[in-house]
Structure 1
Amino acid sequence: MDSKRSCSTKKVSWNDLAFINNVISWSLEDIFDQDLYKNQVDSIGLSFDSAKQYLTSFVPPLLEETRAQLCSCIEIISSSPHAQVFSLKHSHSLQHD
């Protein structure tokens, strides 16, 4: 997949798997792109013509919130304490029953 897609090419449509498919398609560059859904997040109206219109209006803000949370979690993980394994040695002293 092309990780250099602009937010205008990331059109959102609602169906059972649209949300999951959008999230799974993100590259790390997409996750760190604060403008990924910038042009698609609008205020949500107070009335709707259909249930589909109602559900569809929440998709872009929910995608943006999910992207922001993933970005935050990745930043936290990258600053977490860690250790490097230099070598492993197989131990024959363990007995299996």
Structure 2
Amino acid sequence: MEKLLTPNDVAEILSLSPVTIKKWLWQGKLKGIKVGSVWRIRESDLKAFLKTNNDDEEKLSRDDLEAVKRGLEDIKADKKVTLEDYEQDKRL
């Protein structure tokens, strides 16, 4: 049976904010399975996503790259970001 990862697991693996991972799931950039109200990502889907994005880095939009940058800064500062914080930042 294939391992299923949570958005938090994927965020930790990629050193990104969980909000970024959830955004990619909502947008369909990262393939995931919705189980009830929670997302799960197959390990093979994460590997395919990484391979695709390593082959063509331009698939990430400017907003995505900025989100990655902010996520890395938040991790370095040990700051927890909520979805509400992200949505509020997105409106500015």
TM range (shorter): under 0.3
TM-score between the two structures when normalised by the length of structure 1: 0.24
Greater gyration radius: 1
